[in-house]
Structure 1
Amino acid sequence: MSELDDDRRYLVVLNDEEQYSVWPTERDVPAGWRAEGFEGTRQECLDHVSLVWTDMRPLSLRRAMETARD
């Protein structure tokens, strides 16, 4: 199946490091990830991720860098 033929629904998922991914709704969300609250086509989910994931650094790195500045 090509991406253009993909009519499945997806969730935007988020892990503890605040990294995003998309996951098919018919599958259980994998351990260590949680639904972020957005659902749509694969492309809609990818578009949403591009809007909300503005800092690609893992949360632990952002915190370490913040601590180093203090």
Structure 2
Amino acid sequence: MEKLNPFDDEAQTLWVLKNSENQYSLWPDFSAIPQGWEAVFGPAARTDCINWLELTRRSA
């Protein structure tokens, strides 16, 4: 069986990260948050993270 990339795994628990340029990223919860990024939502299911991003984008 082929292993999924954690960024493509629908079952992966994720963080929503944000950097100083107001860019967002989904990040696996098992991995250290990269320097220059901060967690703004999560850890949560992928669908919850995407929903949070969509709501945030609409209210901006």
TM-score by length of 2: 0.70
Report the Cα distance in structure 1 between the residues aligned to 2:12 and 2:19, rounded to whole angstroms.
22
Report the Cα distance in structure 2 between the residues aligned to 1:47 and 1:37, rounded to whole angstroms.
11
TM-score by length of 1: 0.62
Alignment partner, residue 36 of structure 1? 40
Alpha-carbon deviations, 1:10-59, whole Å to 9, x = none?
0111101122111000001111111113321112111111111345xxxx
User: Higher helix fraction: Structure 1 or Structure 2?
Assistant: 1
Alignment partner, residue 54 of structure 2? 50
Q: Structure 1 residue runs of 4+, over 4 Å off? A: none
Q: Percent identity?
A: 30
Structure number with larger C-alpha Rg: 1
User: Higher strand fraction: Structure 1 or Structure 2?
Assistant: 2
How well do the aligned residues superpose, as a CA RMSD in angstroms?
A: 2.0
Q: How many residues align?
A: 54
